[in-house]
Structure 1
């Protein structure tokens, strides 16, 4: 249906070892040794995972803890066709791709392709989305457009982070981790005894780790790639009456650490002479000589560095506070009202030595302020054959970024500021109607109106020449209103309680906006269009072998119009502009499932396949659909896990856990595929091959002794030895490429090296 013969042959070879088709999801043992039933809230109500007619993976809190998964960035490749990485230079900003759809630029003004939600609250931006959530109960990964129930900016899917509710009893835990690079993590949580109508839970996490990149004498900082963050969480549940419940949640994250190494990957030997842009603007002879004599190319390396010299600002700071209030009222046995109100504020800043060398070539800083608030009202109900949810959602945000940039011994000095606002109003509804005991028809619709504004200032200064050029004057302002309607229709057939089939049509869209990083007034004030997708999906969900196995399969095809491509530009400064370049088709396959073949052993294996192509890619009036790389769309990705009980002893149960995640090669930038010497090669345009990430896999292992009895009845302890990136894979996971106009200066960002340590915990 979707694949050519050669592709089908390669696909069959890849799938043969995966015939048990087990995906990375939540697994726990039931009392009879089978798989425990999993409940998710992907459709705004509690349902069995196997009954939800969408492609979804759920990862439990114990699985998250055992695999060392603390935040969104750790999820990469752990669900089919899911890619997650930190953005270049930053540990607190995510870049998430699902089924080949991604937002490449993390700047505060741009919107995401994957919605991230914390206990039902939308996290509006990539910046600040990587934080260590305390007391995670599970993570749900929803693949495919979620435009009906989740709205804008879920064109690729959504990730739900769900935290644990207070128990109302005196319980708690303390965990201490120690590892190489001086790593220390302290986690503590406590549930207080119920006091009248209130149940209270408190949690805290503190992490510190030395940087795995040391710097040479004379550098601006002593280390890079270190960690220093603190997280706090408070949850208070109030049972006002039998029918009225109020939940308040507060989370806070503070981070202050050095940035990642911007490792120089490549550069022309004579940067000044090779760049027509630099020659056009000019430098003093002293600076030109400094750059030429310094020969930046000598600092380039395509092997992971653990020692470097940097001269620019290299830091990352974040302070985020979030408040959420949920009020639930039971109208009767069949109808409930829910109101979710939230407010989040963020102060975020970084400084990057973009050339990764001791030469004063490229330094940038960003200082961002962001605030968002939202309200969502839901009416959920059911009759004998009908389930429904109706609602209204409103969202406001505002942000401002000051982005000074300095180049070439500060002879280029950029003043670059932008601010923005967003106001969203949406109505939505979804109905599930049981046509018969076997057939269920589901329909949904969401209408959205959003108003956006932008304010921009950019000044290009050359202090050495006593000159400054106002590229975008103060007072530059634009506003635009976008509207969209996103429907969904699905049909499910339940053969029996253990076998379901479904077919689904859905639409989604990623918001339009303004190019707040541009140095051109027209680009700043001219809005780009929303990106839209029409998606077809068919799937099967099955449970067999007396409840000891589950196998889920999904096929999908996404057709995207007004495709948004962020184009990195290095004209009078670094930044990106978004362009609507045309159309694309992304289709593929996903396996997900789980096995418990014998008591004490569970196995998981997941596989994702992607076939992504441009149908139109307009660049300067020419259709380049066959000469541009499709980004963040690896053809193959898979993951496997084995969790085995090795022994039961008087001092606890010994378990071994091994997991492996693999991703085939993919491109990071939509650059030209043509190679030097071919007829359609453009020497003034960047090469896709220069930012191609090779295929790689990562192994993690843990040996865990659980259920260690202590003196008090019911108190338990755990001890484990763990290692991540067992083989010390030196994988590049992101890059920046300035292109030929800036001497082909490129930086690479590596995954962290092998880490290992011990974890001790006590629970009461």
Structure 2
């Protein structure tokens, strides 16, 4: 206990010392800056320009906003070739973690400062970091990989944002701000091609305003062929995507002081998961049994004997241990595969997102602006995920293998927020009210799509939908056969035209109400001090039902309701005009819910975070350098953790299924330091660097399904060390035409080793990924039109690493009754499997601005 306390004090003292020492750094002219280099335009003196953010629900200068924020803007998005949020998985913003759920691009996991969900991909679960588009929270992670429209900036707000942004922001928030209509004719069109058959095109056109109405139209298209081929004819390979989308926005200014922004967007994202490779076989050296012993059948025997071995071995028996042999058709691949050894049925998952928003602002008085944000949004996901192939299941003669994970989710939401924002004398204030409601449904099926022959040298492909249909491995497959009627048609009407064996079906309703306010007081005569106090009262009501388990109708229901208050205090001091320090206390929470992969839709409560943060933001060297530093301590209570088991209990409603139970498992402690630096040593050259240190300690807890001994829990996708750096240089070439220039960009992103499963001590590889771009731009071609030519590469050096790795199938499963070992099961021992990062991609683009 004393050692932890000393660590807390050292962290606070070190961060405070940096803030106090800021004037000394300034005198020494040490290069410094913020992580938002790509928004920083030259100021009048040739230095780094101001960056505007809206983290406090009003437009403020990043350097004077007393919370830790990273920003990436239009230029940074282009330089790093960020087409969707999935492209942030390389660690471009060290404190922000973006990765796939399972191996699926169709559902992303978003985390900040060690608050990273393991499984929120359900009807009645939320994450601890919310994603916002123009102030509208997105309720589900499905659809987050859609193509980005015309983005002005992405703000990463670090630490609990429970006061102004509400629930599910205990780790922070990712706020995406689009470019509003300008009311003047203009825009840009871009097209590109690249390796793996990639091609893209997007158009963004502003029309001249008429009748005080400005319109903007956008369309995007992005495509990439699979990077891992699928040998099965007619089936799609892995890491494929085809994205299309459109958006129309309108800005109406009927009278002075009134601005109404309306937008509608629709996007369709077809994609396949990343490939799961078997990277080794029997790494622990167990005896390998044989199916070719003196007796017939599929039981395992010690090689050359008639002695049965393996399977489930009761404690205290003399039955020898052994594992199944590796199928001859399967070869472990520790390095990146370009083609699977086994062909499996797979068609692209389809995510459709759509929404309408109305954002109205009215300047009622010099001291008061009234705002309303109204939004309807929806997402549908048809998931067809066969990422595992032969990497996750052992060989058994004439047995089915390769889990085809099918999920069909539908969600719609409505939100309404009112705000009053203004300033009176020494007070700046934001007060408001918020309402959110959501309805989500999902049904899922997990057929085994392939069938081994007797000796494992070959296989056939079963239809994933119609039971009993077997086709040749090389003749393709029927993706969907609507010719038969499911016996649960009355219970699950959305699957009435299929023969799916429904593993589960659930629905959930969610209602949330809140009142919030923030007031900043700057004392008269002491305008260097700013004291902010805020709070948010929230009432949540969530209910749902799990009405099908293993193709049998079930009556399982849950209800969950809470009422809580989240406070915030922030003391900011302007040490000088260029140095700003702050200390902040805030709380936040992640809503409770229920796990629809559980046996009976068991409910769990919310988890909460208390955060203590100190920081300093500093400008030096005549605004050619900035340094932002933050240190924080976060204590999370009632941590939501998932425990899982393959159910073999006779009479269980989930017999033969993978089940998952979520419980509030205790306290988690997270400590960290963040540093952002930007330097412009000479005109046109910008150097940036960001670093995040994250230390965490998670609890151990007893698996509520199996009992037994406490298990250590792990926070996923949170490396202790993460860093990113970039070099940007702009070389004017007026000899070509007008303001023509060549822009060079190179960034490198490092992530330390991390855990990818909550119950496994197995860690992933560390990684260092470099991206680059060269642009010959702003070539005048007549009138106000300019053309640019670019070449780019992501993962320039083709770095290969495991971003997700599991050893769950490398060791036997020990079954306990309380603290007593009952049996040991060797039936699932195979080897480690892993998912690898995307390979090197590159291409060229041409864009026209007019």
| CA distance in structure 1 between the partners assigned to 2:384 and 2:587 by the alignment | 39
* 1:555 corresponding residue in structure 2: 631
Look up the match of 1:447: 537
**What is the root-mean-square deviation of aligned Cα atoms in Å?**
2.8
Aligned to 1:82: 96
Question: Would you say 1:422 and 2:510 are equivalent positions?
Answer: yes
Rate the CA distance shift 1:270–1:443 in 2: closer, same or farther, 3 A. Answer: farther
Find 2:528's aligned residue among 433, 438, 457. Answer: 438
* 1:665 aligned onto 2:749: no
Measured after TM superposition, the shift of residue 22 of structure 1 is 5.1
**Gap runs ≥5 in structure 2:** 1-5, 15-29, 283-287, 291-297, 301-307, 313-322, 392-399, 452-466, 469-499, 648-655, 814-827
Query: Retained in 2: the 8 A contact 1:312–1:360?
Result: no
- 2:547 equivalent in structure 1: 457
Q: With the length of structure 1 as denominator, give the TM-score of the two structures.
A: 0.88
Which residue, out of 608, 617, 623, partners 1:541?
617
Identify which of 397, 414, 420 aligns with 2:438. Answer: 397
Instruction: Report the Cα offset of residue 81 of structure 1.
Output: 1.9
The residue aligned with 1:285 is none
Cα distance change, pair 612–622 in 1 and its aligned pair in 2 (3 A): farther
Would the aligned equivalents of 1:24 and 1:640 in 2 still touch at CA under 8 Å? no
How far apart, CA to CA, are the structure 2 residues paired with 1:330 and 1:756? 48
**1:482-505, CA deviations, whole angstroms, 9 ceiling, x for partnerless residues?**
222111001011112211110000
User: What is the rounded CA distance, in whole Å, between the counterparts of 2:617 and 2:512 in structure 1?
Assistant: 36
CA contact (8 A) 1:507 1:533 kept: yes
Match of 2:7 in 1: 2
Question: Is contact 1:97-1:156 (8 Å) kept?
Answer: yes
Aligned partner of 2:641 in structure 1 is 565
8 Å CA contact 1:416, 1:459 repeated in 2 = yes
- Runs of 5+ unmatched residues, structure 1: 10-18, 281-290, 462-469, 672-686
1:124 to 130, 133, 139: 139
Measured after TM superposition, the shift of residue 605 of structure 1 is 0.3
- 1:338 matches 2:418: no
**Cross-structure match for 1:680:** none
Change (3 A) 1:630 1:459: closer
Going by fraction, where is strand more abundant, 1 or 2?
1
Pair 1:222–1:610, CA change in 2 (3 A): closer
Alignment match of 1:319 (pick from 352, 359, 365): 352
Residue from 561, 566, 573 that aligns with 1:481 = 561
| Corresponding position of 1:509 | 589
Q: What do the CA deviations read for 1:28-57 (whole angstroms, capped 9, x no partner)?
A: 222432001111001100000011110001
Structure 1 residues 23 and 80, CA, compared in 2 at 3 Å: closer, same or farther? farther
The whole-number CA distance in structure 1 between the counterparts of 2:157 and 2:665 is 27
Q: Report the Cα distance in structure 2 between the residues aligned to 1:349 and 1:639, rounded to whole angstroms.
A: 35
8 Å contact from structure 1 (residues 144, 156) kept in 2: yes
Q: Is the 8 A contact 1:88 1:736 kept in 2?
A: no
Match of 1:101 among 106, 115, 118: 115
Paired with 2:328 and 2:573, the residues of 1 have a C-alpha distance of 63
CA distance 1:459–1:332, shift in 2 (3 Å): closer
Q: d(CA) in 2 for partners of 1:234 and 1:322?
A: 11
Contact 1:395/1:425, CA 8 A, preserved across alignment:
yes
Equivalent pair of 1:395/1:423 in contact (CA under 8 Å):
yes
Give the SS at the match of 1:666.
Answer: coil
- Could you say which residue in structure 2 is the equivalent of 1:629? 714
- Contact between 2:105 and 2:271, CA under 8 Å: does it hold in 1? no
Q: Partner residue of 2:182?
A: 167
Larger Rg: 2
Q: Using the alignment, how far apart are the partners of 2:644 and 2:754 within structure 1?
A: 18
- The equivalent residue for 1:696 is 767
How far off its partner does 1:321 sit? 0.8
1:30 is aligned to 43
Number of residue equivalences: 709
Indicate whether 1:50 and 2:91 are aligned. no
Deviations 1:311-334 (A, max 9, x none): 233421011111101111111111
Q: Residues 370 and 81 (structure 1 numbering): CA distance in 2 closer, same or farther, change over 3 Å?
A: same
Structure-2 change in CA distance of 1:717 and 1:618 (3 Å) = same
Shift of 1:570: 3.3
After TM superposition, list the pairs within 5 Å mapping 1:699-738 onto structure 2: 699-710=770-781, 712-735=782-805
In structure 1, what is the equivalent of residue 72 of structure 2?
A: 59
Residue 193 (structure 1) aligns with: 208
Inter-CA distance 734–293: structure 2 relative to 1 (3 Å threshold): closer
Cα displacement (A) at 1:279: 6.3
User: In the aligned structure 2, how far is the partner of 1:187 from the partner of 1:560?
Assistant: 43
Query: Which of 623, 642, 648 in structure 1 is aligned with 2:727?
Result: 642
User: How far apart, in 2, do the equivalents of 1:259 and 1:198 lie?
Assistant: 43
Q: Is residue 663 of structure 2 the alignment partner of residue 579 of structure 1?
A: yes
Q: CA deviation at 1:637?
A: 0.5
Answer yes or no: is the 8 Å Cα contact 1:336–1:379 preserved in 2: yes
Distance in 2 between the 1:431 and 1:204 partners? 41
CA deviation profile, 1:466-521 (whole Å, cap 9, x unmatched): xxxx5xx4232221212221110010111122111100000010011111111x22
Q: Note if contact 2:142-2:379 (Cα within 8 Å) is conserved in structure 1.
A: no
> In the alignment, is the contact (CA less than 8 A) between 1:264 and 1:356 conserved in 2?
no
- Aligned position for 1:683: none
- Match of 2:587, SS state, is strand
Q: Counterpart of 1:654?
A: 742
**TM-score (norm: length of structure 2):** 0.79
| In structure 1, C-alpha distance between the alignment counterparts of 2:427 and 2:127, rounded to whole Å | 34
Aligned to 1:754: 840
Shift of 1:266: 5.4
